[in-house]
Amino acid sequence: MTGFFDTPIEYLKGVGPQRAALLNKELNIFTFGDLIQHYPFRYEDRTKFVTVKMLDDEMLNAQLKGTVKSIGEIASGKKKRLSVVMVDETGELELVWFQGIQWTKDRLKIGANYVVFGKPARYGSKWSIAHPDIEPVNPQNEKGLALHPVYPLTEKLRARHFDSKSLSKLVSLLFTMATNKFRETLPSELLSTEKLLFKEQAIQQIHFPTDTKMLQEAQRRLKFEELFYIQLRLLKLKLVREDKFKGHVYQDVSVLTQFYNDHLPFPLTDAQKKVIREIYADLKSGKQMNRLLQGDVGSGKTIVAFICMLIVISGKSQAALMAPTEILAQQHFNNLKKFADLMSLPIALLTGSTKKSARRELHAQLQSGELKILIGTHALLEEEVQFHHLGLAIIDEQHRFGVAQRSKLWQKNTTSYPHVLVMTATPIPRTLAMTLYGDLNISTIDQLPAGRKPIKTIHKFDSHRLQVNQFLRDQISIGRQVYMVYPLIEESEKMDLKHLMDGYESVCRAFPDVAVSIVHGKMKPEAKDYEMARFKKGETKIMVATTVIEVGVDVPNASVMVIENAERFGLSQLHQLRGRVGRGAEQSYCILMSGFKLGADSKTRIETMVRTNNGFEIAETDLKLRGPGDLTGTQQSGALDLMIANLSTDGEILQQARDAAIRILQNDPDLTTPQNQAIRLQIDSARKTVVNWSKIS
Question: Measured from the CB of residue 188, what is the shortest distance to ligand ADP in angstroms?
Answer: 48
Binding mask 403-442 for ligand ADP (x = CB under 6 A): ----------------------------------------
Task: From 53-61, 76-84, 251-259, 266-274, give the range in contact with ligand ADP by CB under 6 A.
Answer: 266-274
Nearer to ligand ADP, 223 or 536 (CB): 536
Ranges within 446-475 binding ligand ADP (CB under 6 A): 449
Residue type, 147: L
Ranges within 211-240 binding ligand ADP (CB under 6 A): none
Ranges within 340-359 binding ligand ADP (CB under 6 A): none
Nearest position to ligand ADP, beta carbon = 300
Cα-based torsion angle of the residue sequence 594, 596, 602, 605 in order, rounded to the nearest 10 degrees = 60
Query: Should residue 487 be labelled a site residue for ligand ADP when binding is judged by CB under 6 A?
Result: no
Nearer to ligand ADP, 275 or 542 (CB): 275
Question: Measured from the CB of residue 394, what is the shortest distance to ligand ADP in angstroms?
Answer: 12
Question: Measured from the CB of residue 127, what is the shortest distance to ligand ADP in angstroms?
Answer: 59
Angle between helices 600-611 and 615-626 (to 10 degrees): 170
What contacts 610, CB < 8 A, 6 or more positions away? 457, 458, 459, 592
Nearer to ligand ADP, 29 or 329 (CB): 329
Q: Is the distance from CB of 551 to CB of 328 less than 8 angstroms?
A: yes
Beta bridge partners of 68: 86
- What is the distance between the alpha carbons of residues 306 and 488, in angstroms, rounded to a whole number? 33
Nearer to ligand ADP, 77 or 265 (CB): 265
Question: Measured from the CB of residue 396, what is the shortest distance to ligand ADP in angstroms?
Answer: 9
Compute the half-sphere exposure of residue 79: CA atoms within 13 Å on the CB side of its CA: 8
Ranges within 288-307 binding ligand ADP (CB under 6 A): 295, 297-303
Nearer to ligand ADP, 36 or 618 (CB): 618
- What is the distance between the alpha carbons of residues 96 and 106, in angstroms, rounded to a whole number? 15
Q: How many residues bind ligand ADP (CB under 6 A)?
A: 15
Nearer to ligand ADP, 55 or 532 (CB): 532
Nearer to ligand ADP, 299 or 431 (CB): 299
Question: Measured from the CB of residue 443, what is the shortest distance to ligand ADP in angstroms?
Answer: 13
Ranges within 300-339 binding ligand ADP (CB under 6 A): 300-303
Nearer to ligand ADP, 385 or 551 (CB): 551
Ranges within 535-574 binding ligand ADP (CB under 6 A): 554
- What is the distance between the alpha carbons of residues 394 and 636, in angstroms, rounded to a whole number? 20
The torsion angles phi and psi of 87, rounded to 5 degrees, stand at -125, 145
Nearer to ligand ADP, 364 or 585 (CB): 585
The rounded radius of gyration (Å) of the Cα atoms in the chain is 31
Ranges within 574-593 binding ligand ADP (CB under 6 A): 583
Q: Report the DSSP pairing between strands 390-396 and 318-322.
A: parallel
Question: Measured from the CB of residue 556, what is the shortest distance to ligand ADP in angstroms?
Answer: 7
Question: Measured from the CB of residue 588, what is the shortest distance to ligand ADP in angstroms?
Answer: 13
Nearer to ligand ADP, 247 or 427 (CB): 427
What contacts 375, CB < 8 A, 6 or more positions away? 320, 321, 323, 329, 332, 333, 336, 347, 348, 349, 350
Beta bridge partners of 374: 320, 348
Task: From 104-112, 262-270, 374-382, 592-600, give the range in contact with ligand ADP by CB under 6 A.
Answer: 262-270
Nearer to ligand ADP, 295 or 418 (CB): 295
Question: Measured from the CB of residue 266, what is the shortest distance to ligand ADP in angstroms?
Answer: 4
Compute the half-sphere exposure of residue 525: CA atoms within 13 Å on the CB side of its CA: 4
Query: Should residue 266 be labelled a site residue for ligand ADP when binding is judged by CB under 6 A?
Result: yes
Nearer to ligand ADP, 338 or 687 (CB): 338
Q: Report the DSSP pairing between strands 79-88 and 91-97.
A: antiparallel
Contact with ligand ADP (CB under 6 A): which of 268, 514, 523, 642?
A: 268
Nearer to ligand ADP, 62 or 553 (CB): 553
Nearer to ligand ADP, 118 or 298 (CB): 298
Contact with ligand ADP (CB under 6 A): which of 204, 205, 231, 269?
A: 269
Residue type, 59: M
Question: Measured from the CB of residue 451, what is the shortest distance to ligand ADP in angstroms?
Answer: 7
Question: Measured from the CB of residue 583, what is the shortest distance to ligand ADP in angstroms?
Answer: 6
Beta bridge partners of 563: 485, 592
Residue 354: name the closest of 344, 345, 366, 342 by CA. 366
Query: Should residue 608 be labelled a site residue for ligand ADP when binding is judged by CB under 6 A?
Result: no
- What is the distance between the alpha carbons of residues 420 and 460, in angstroms, rounded to a whole number? 44
Task: From 63-71, 122-130, 232-240, 265-273, give the range in contact with ligand ADP by CB under 6 A.
Answer: 265-273
Binding mask 627-666 for ligand ADP (x = CB under 6 A): ----------------------------------------
Looking at beta carbons, which pairs linking 9-17 to residues 24 or more positions away fall under 8 Å?
A: 9/34, 9/35, 12/170, 12/173, 12/174, 13/173, 14/169, 14/170, 14/173, 15/170
What contacts 604, CB < 8 A, 6 or more positions away? 621, 625
| Eight-state DSSP code of residue 634 | G
- What is the distance between the alpha carbons of residues 363 and 420, in angstroms, rounded to a whole number? 21
Query: Should residue 270 be labelled a site residue for ligand ADP when binding is judged by CB under 6 A?
Result: no
Q: Is the distance from CB of 316 to CB of 322 less than 8 angstroms?
A: no
Query: Should residue 613 be labelled a site residue for ligand ADP when binding is judged by CB under 6 A?
Result: no
Cβ neighbours around 73 below 10 Å, total: 12
What contacts 211, CB < 8 A, 6 or more positions away? 146, 147
Nearer to ligand ADP, 394 or 500 (CB): 394
Residue 158: name the closest of 98, 216, 225 by CA. 98
Cβ neighbours around 578 below 10 Å, total: 23
- What is the distance between the alpha carbons of residues 233 and 434, in angstroms, rounded to a whole number? 12
Residues in contact with ligand ADP by CB under 6 A are 266, 268-269, 272, 295, 297-303, 449, 554, 583
